[in-house]
Amino acid sequence: MGGESSRGVLSSERQARRADYQQEPDLPSLYKDVASDFCETVTVPEQLPNVLGRAMRTAMARRSVTAPIIPADVLPYATGSI
């Protein structure tokens, strides 16, 4: 799936979720103390390989905890389930 089309779908899903559901926690704020070396949210599926690679390299090089955050609405597009 192309980047532009998945961005549009994800954006509309996020807007709908904000209107219908309880607000999600701010995960970067929750993880900042334990994953201070690397904490990043994947916003589009195309970012996933790069973010995961950087998280793993950072964790190994610095021997620290990292937190790549993958929202539930991004994961199906990243795995090809949709």
Element (H, E) at 15: helix 3-20
The answer to whether 34 touches 66, Cβ cutoff 8 Å, is no
CA distance 25 to 22: 9
Which parts of the chain sit beneath pLDDT 50? 1-3
- Quick: pLDDT tens for 34-46: 999 999 999 999 9
Q: What is the pLDDT of residue 1?
A: 45
Chain mean pLDDT for the chain = 81
Nearest to 73 by CA among 82, 61, 65: 82
Q: What is the pLDDT of residue 9?
A: 62
| pTM, full prediction | 0.66
